[in-house]
């Protein structure tokens, strides 16, 4: 039976966890890209490609004196 060192166990765990972490990150990137694509499509359909900002623009009515 081969004697296993603590450094070998540690390295194996780090590599395994790194692979799992990479898979999770990759999946989150795919989800983010899907949401970004859907948001862009909705903006295109609604005709809101460019929005001036969160505040409404100035009114066309003249202020009363």
Measure the CA–CA gap between 12 and 20, rounded to whole angstroms: 12
Give this prediction's pTM. 0.45
Measure the CA–CA gap between 2 and 9, rounded to whole angstroms: 13
For 24-39, the DSSP string reads: HHHHHHHHHHHHHHHH
Query: pLDDT band at residue 65, thresholds of 50, 70 and 90?
Result: low
Q: Provide the pLDDT for residue 58.
A: 55
Measure the CA–CA gap between 39 and 31, rounded to whole angstroms: 12
pLDDT tens figures, 1-58 = 778 787 887 878 877 888 888 888 888 888 888 998 888 888 888 876 555 666 655 5
Q: Provide the pLDDT for residue 52.
A: 60
């Amino acid at each position: 039976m081969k004697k296993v060192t603590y450094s070998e166990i540690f390295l194996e765990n780090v590599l395994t966890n790194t692979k799992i972490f990479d898979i999770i990150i990759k999946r989150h990137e795919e989800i983010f890209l899907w949401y970004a694509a859907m948001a862009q499509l909705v903006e295109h359909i609604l005709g809101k490609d460019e929005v001036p900002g969160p505040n409404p623009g100035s009114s066309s009515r003249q202020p009363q004196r």
